[in-house]
Amino acid sequence: MATPRKNEKKTDAVKAASSEPDLGFTGESSWQYEPSLEGTDHLRFEKKYELFIGGRWVAPKSKKYFPTINPATEEPIAEVAEANAEDVDAAVRSARTAYDKIWSKLRPAERAKYLYRIARAMQEKARDLAIVETMDGGKPIKESRDFDVPTASAHFFYHAGWADKLDLAFHGRPYRPLGVAGQIIPWNFPLLMAAWKIAPALACGNTVVLKPAETTPLTALLLAKIFEEIELPPGVVNIVTGAGATGAALVAHSDVNKIAFTGSTDVGKRIQGAIAGSGKRLTLELGGKAANIVFADAPLDQAVEGIVNGIFFNQGHVCCAGSRLLVEESVHDLVVRKLRDRIATMRVGNPLDKNTDLGAINSKMQLEKIRGLVAAGEAEGAERWSSPCALPKKGFFFPPTFFTNVAQASRIAHEEIFGPVLSILTFRTPDEAVEKANNTMYGLSAGVWTDKGSKSFWMAQRLQAGVVWANTFNKFDPSSPFGGYKESGFGREGGRQGLSSYVEVG
């Protein structure tokens, strides 16, 4: 059994559960692996990355660059151009020209061919894309290799399939593309978010100006190199790097027809205010505080695996992360014990190690935010348990952590933590589970674990969440629409429904 930390506070539930027989997980001591590092010697990073505008790499008019660092080592990887309003204007103008002269005139089947080429080139470069994603963002290589990169290229394949079948997508109604789409994405799934936004926009005949997040710009820039290589016509996709001011300049530009934003609820609200009355179309995919709801009749080991997958495998850096666990009171102690034993086996450390389960927190700022909210949870009286795992001395790391005895009104039960921190609450009846799950300003996703299909459907009808997973969690597919309710935003991305965000239907 893993040795608890000296300062570990045990809940009554955990204390009671500790005296029960061992369940088979024996903690970190029996799970030693030799390091298995992904090789990086073959990668050649440029010292400076410029802006990708009109199919060329151009120096920013701002003359400014900012470093992007590896959060696992705190070492800089490269300098990246910081686009100002003039640079954004150049990118929008180039997207407009490409829209008017090339992309909107191309036969849909020709657009499809470009999308297929992008998808295939991503597959060919999958290993390097995964390594760079891990180095720039901190997520474990097994996540970027097995999930992010394959799902990103799947989005291009899927939308290539739609490009020449759009006549069937809107019930036979006429449609036309919107024009220039400004797309702003966050740091949690940098390449996947870029693919998720660019692929449907291009399939529907729009051109794009994309702004990646300031802490994870590199894979979007590698994607631009793929666009060059497959000879995507110049200006069809432009990439402007920078921070909030660059995004704000894109939102404010008068010749942008549509803004697609994924990020925090605060910035989403600001964007909504900024474009009000401008006629621009908008989709917002914002924060979440998803509940994983575990009934006593659920397959509990499977549920524990789903809970771990939902909140810990991505350092909790997922807007739809299952950051609240609602567990039926009668199995609370058992689930907490199984969860603690399972978490104690998780390996936290170098994200480039193929055995690592939990990598680095994306930035110092994010780590401080997590620490602040965890301290607030303790101050509000919840009982904290953190894995006794050793953390690397350098880099931004946080141990997988859960709280029991969480009050409904406490900050950790309401605020998005965006870290590997789970708040555990209990319920006695399905009605109470629904009420507690919906008691949040968010509504992005939820998970239901039960042996009874009828109960899953009953819950799904009542849960205010864009996605409800049954006996699984965090499953994605390009053909499934994704999006939220309430302060998690509006509009859907993915699937047939996601296409309507990029066309005007007559």
Alpha-carbon distance 323 to 421, whole Å?
7
Q: Binding ligand ADP by CB under 6 A: which of 10, 127, 269, 270? A: 270
Dihedral sign computed on CA atoms, order 467, 344, 134, 210: positive
Is 319 marked active-site? yes
Cβ proximity to ligand ADP, 262 vs 456, nearer residue: 262
Q: Binding ligand ADP by CB under 6 A: which of 77, 160, 193, 251? A: 251
Alpha-carbon distance 122 to 132, whole Å?
13
111 counts as binding ligand ADP under rule CB under 6 A: no
Q: What would the x/- binding string for ligand ADP be over residues 138 to 177, using CB under 6 A? A: ----------------------------------------
Alpha-carbon distance 130 to 3, whole Å?
34
Do 281 and 122 form a contact (C-beta atoms < 8 A)? no
Alpha-carbon distance 493 to 459, whole Å?
23
Q: Which residue is nearest to ligand ADP (CB)?
A: 247
Tell me how crowded residue 57 is: count the other CB atoms within 10 A of its CB. Answer: 17
211 counts as binding ligand ADP under rule CB under 6 A: yes
Of the candidates 224, 278, 271, 273, the residue with the CA atom closest to the CA atom of residue 250: 271
Q: Which residues share a beta bridge with 504?
A: 176
Q: Which of 50, 133, 214, 319 is catalytic?
A: 319
Chain residues 438-497 in contact with ligand ADP, contact rule CB under 6 A: none
- Please name the residue that has the structure tokens 């499809």: 112
Segment lying near ligand ADP (by CB under 6 A), choices 23-31, 139-147, 262-270, 391-399: 262-270
Alpha-carbon distance 234 to 53, whole Å?
8
367 counts as binding ligand ADP under rule CB under 6 A: no
Angle of helix 190-203 relative to helix 108-124, nearest 10 degrees, comes to 160
Cβ proximity to ligand ADP, 365 vs 379, nearer residue: 365
263 counts as binding ligand ADP under rule CB under 6 A: yes
300 counts as binding ligand ADP under rule CB under 6 A: no
267 counts as binding ligand ADP under rule CB under 6 A: yes
Task: Give the nearest distance from C-beta 187 to ligand ADP in angstroms.
Answer: 6
Q: Which of 38, 285, 383, 487 is catalytic?
A: 285
Cβ proximity to ligand ADP, 186 vs 483, nearer residue: 186
Segment lying near ligand ADP (by CB under 6 A), choices 11-19, 37-45, 88-96, 209-217: 209-217
Task: Give the nearest distance from C-beta 418 to ligand ADP in angstroms.
Answer: 7
51 by DSSP, 3-state: which? strand
Task: Give the nearest distance from C-beta 31 to ligand ADP in angstroms.
Answer: 32
198 counts as binding ligand ADP under rule CB under 6 A: no
275 by DSSP, 3-state: which? helix
Long-range contacts made by residues 53-58, C-beta under 8 angstroms, separation at least 24?
Answer: 53/87, 53/90, 53/91, 53/94, 53/235, 53/238, 53/239, 53/240, 54/90, 54/94, 54/97, 54/98, 54/234, 54/235, 54/238, 55/227, 55/228, 55/232, 55/233, 55/234, 55/235, 56/234, 58/90
210 counts as binding ligand ADP under rule CB under 6 A: no
Task: Give the nearest distance from C-beta 420 to ligand ADP in angstroms.
Answer: 16
Of the candidates 333, 336, 330, the residue with the CA atom closest to the CA atom of residue 307: 336
Task: Give the nearest distance from C-beta 288 to ligand ADP in angstroms.
Answer: 11
213 counts as binding ligand ADP under rule CB under 6 A: yes
With CB under 6 A, what is the number of residues at the site for ligand ADP? 17
Tell me how crowded residue 505 is: count the other CB atoms within 10 A of its CB. Answer: 12
Is 285 marked active-site? yes
Q: Which residues are catalytic?
A: 285, 319
Query: Which residues contact ligand ADP (rule: CB under 6 A)?
Result: 184-187, 211, 213-214, 243-244, 247-248, 251, 263-264, 267, 270-271
